Amino acid sequence: MARAEFESQEALAAIIPDNVVVPMAWGYFQDDKSKSFYLTRFRNLRARVPPLSQFLAIVKKLHQMSTSPTGKFGFHCTTYWGPPPIINEWTDNWEEFWSRQLRSDVAYAQNIYGEDEELASLTEEFIQKAVARLLRPLQSGGRTIKPSLCHGDLWDGNVQIDVDTRQTILFDSCAFYGHAEVDLQGIGEPRYALQMDVVDLYKKEIGASDPQDDFYDRHYLYGVRNDIVVAAICPEWEKLLDTAKEKMRKLIQKFPDGFEGFEDPDVKAEEPPIEPHHSIAGETLAVLDIDGESRVHRSEEEIDVTSPEAPREEILQVGVSA
């Protein structure tokens, strides 16, 4: 994992050096090869919601200025979204890459919570219908997408402000070359500080892939993996597995014919996307304005829900993993 973090951050630093925690070295302990270290340059970071214009400019540069060394989707080593591995074998088919990763994440979740026949069968139907319908058109009918360098875990807990430079800083990446829009998977849910206005602004300022009419449904689909992984690595968020199942059902219901039901967006009747704003039962989060002093707060009357990834107040120079 130390190597994965190093390689991920090094790849990002090659594109946006002023806006990442820059890695310096990684290795194994001399006396205990089961332990490793990861060393970075120190940044004086504070947990703040970044100015959205600055944040999106950084994301745009990362996605548009990066180039896959093979021209394919993947990465040169395994990276990790927490403990779950990213299956980074190179492929020129984005639908294949994302489906492969979804199956891996579902298997990881079942390893944690036990076999779930409903989740397993629903996942396969979801891949055959919703995934095929929403991801295959990206690379068919003359349409193409560029494999862009993605952060991989781009949520507000991995974005802070450098007090000294006033720059937005990204860290804790699990990089791979993928469809740029997948980096929005950790943005927009009520449990996060970065809300749907960021997704809306991304579409307006950076643009959606063709077919553009599918943009919000693709975002909804990408969020399924985010829910499953958060549930798997944070037991207090196990209920997100039910959220993921419900999202799968909604997209299967909307696209029952899979790719065969796809029509050219210029001629098909307009159909509103699934409402992307979904709340978690029993949870209320109040998100501060982007210039606020803190990213998320709860009122005294609100129910105490543990965040899946607590905001970090600073970055340690050395991380040790077993």
Q: What is the pLDDT of residue 321?
A: 46
**pTM of the complete model beyond 0.85:** no
In this predicted structure, what is the pLDDT of residue 203?
97
| Domain segments of the chain as ranges | 51-76+92-158+177-312
Write down the number of H helices and E strands in the chain.
Answer: 8, 12
In this prediction, residue 316 carries a pLDDT of 40
Provide the b/e sequence for 275-310 (b: ≥16 CB within 10 Å).
eeebebeeeebebeebeeeebbeeeeeeeeeebbbe
CA 195 to CA 54: how far, in whole Å?
16
Distance of CA 20 to the CA centre of its chain: 17
Q: Which pair of tokens denotes residue 305?
A: 């829900």
Q: Which amino acid makes up residue 205? A: E
> Cα(123)–Cα(183) distance, rounded to whole angstroms?
21
Instruction: Please give the pLDDT value at position 271.
Output: 58
Q: Which two structure tokens, joined as six digits, stand for 200?
A: 């809306």
Q: Give the residue ranges of the chain where pLDDT is below 50.
A: 278-322
Query: How far, CA to CA in Å, does 44 sit from each of 258, 274, 296, 299, 303?
Result: 48, 40, 20, 29, 32
Per DSSP bridges, beta strands 176-178 and 168-170 are unpaired
**What is the per-residue pLDDT across 252-311, written as a single tens digit (0 to 9) for each?**
999 999 999 998 765 555 556 666 554 433 333 333 333 433 333 333 333 343 444 444
Is domain 51-76+92-158+177-312 classified as CATH 3.40.50.150? no
Beta strand pairing call for 176-178 and 148-150: antiparallel
Structure tokens at 246: 């419900």
d(CA 258, CA 170): 36
pLDDT score, position 105 = 98
Query: What pLDDT score was predicted for residue 267?
Result: 53
Distance CA 1, CA 83 (A): 8
Q: Is the dihedral of CA 97, 15, 220, 228 positive or negative?
A: positive
- State the pLDDT at residue 33: 87
In 3D, which of 204, 177, 173, 1 has the Cα closest to residue 85?
1
